[in-house]
Structure 1
Amino acid sequence: MSPAHAAPESRTSRSGAFFRENLPIVLVAVVMVVAVVFLAWDRWRRGTFFFGGATLLAAALRMLLPTDRAGLLAVRGKTFDVVWLTVLGVAIIALAATISSLGVT
C-alpha cells in the first residue's frame, strides 16, 4: 500500500500514545485528584497526606525513570528534581502529621 493510501491514525491510538508517553505525570495527577476530593469532603488531613504522597510519588518516578521517559516530571536536572520533590513531599506530610486537628478529621 502506498503512503498516500495509508489509513489515518485513529483517535484512540493517539490518545493511547499520549497516556503512554505521559504516564508518570498522569499517575501523579490521579493521586492529586484524590487529594482534592478529600479536601472537598472536609478531610483536610487526608487530603494533605495525599498531596505529600503525590509529591513523593513524583520524586520516585523522576528518580527511577530515565529523563526521556519522565516527561513533565523532568524540569531541571535529575538530582535537583528528586531532592526538591522529596523535601517538599516530606514537608507536606510532616505538616499534616504535626498540626493539631482541633476536632477536624
Structure 2
Amino acid sequence: MQRPSLRNPHDVALPPSKVPVALQWIGIGIFLALALASGIYSFGNHWRRATFTLGGAMLWLSLLRLSCDSSIMGIFAVRSRKFDAAFTAAIGGLMLFLSATVESLGS
C-alpha cells in the first residue's frame, strides 16, 4: 500500500483505472522504449527520427496519463490528469510538427 503522503493530491478523488495493472505497466514500458529509441537516434545523428520518435512517445504518454492510475504513472503524474495529458500532447504534437516540417538540411 502506498503511503498517503506519496499520492498525487490532484487525483485523490478520481476512480481507479479500468485498464488492468499489467497493461498499464506494458504501456509505460512502451513509452520508455520509444524514449530510449529516440536517444539512440539522436546519438546516431538522426535528429529528425529522434524528434519524431520522441514526439510520438509524448503523445503515447498523454494517452497513458488519461488511462492509467497515478500510483502506476509515478513521476509522470505531476499535476491533474487533464493538465498532464494536455501538456504532453501539446509538446508531442509540436515535436511531430517540427520533425515533419523542418528541412532535412541535405540529408
TM-score between both structures, scaled by the size of structure 2: 0.69
Would you say the 8 A contact 2:38–2:51 is kept in 1? yes
Unaligned runs of 5+ in 1: 1-19
Q: What CA deviation, in whole Å up to 9, does each residue of 1:20-74 have, x standing for no partner?
A: 9965544322211100111111111111101101111110100111333322221
Q: Report sequence identity in percent.
A: 29
- Higher relative CO (Cα under 8 Å, sequence separation at least 6) belongs to 2
Find the aligned partners of 1:68 and 1:91 in 2 and give their Cα distance: 28
Find the aligned partners of 1:97 and 1:60 in 2 and give their Cα distance: 22
Q: How many residues align?
A: 86
Offset at 1:87?
0.4
Q: Which structure has the greater CA radius of gyration?
A: 1
Cα–Cα, structure 1 residues 86 and 35, in superposed 2: closer, same or farther, change >3 Å? same
Cα–Cα, structure 1 residues 51 and 92, in superposed 2: closer, same or farther, change >3 Å? same
Would you say the 8 A contact 1:25–1:71 is kept in 2? no
Q: Which residue of 2 aligns with 1:103?
A: 106
Unaligned runs of 5+ in 2: 1-22
Q: Which residue of 2 aligns with 1:34?
A: 37
Find the aligned partners of 1:56 and 1:21 in 2 and give their Cα distance: 15
Q: Which residue of 2 aligns with 1:45?
A: 48
Would you say the 8 A contact 2:24–2:64 is kept in 1? no
Find the aligned partners of 2:71 and 2:43 in 1 and give their Cα distance: 35
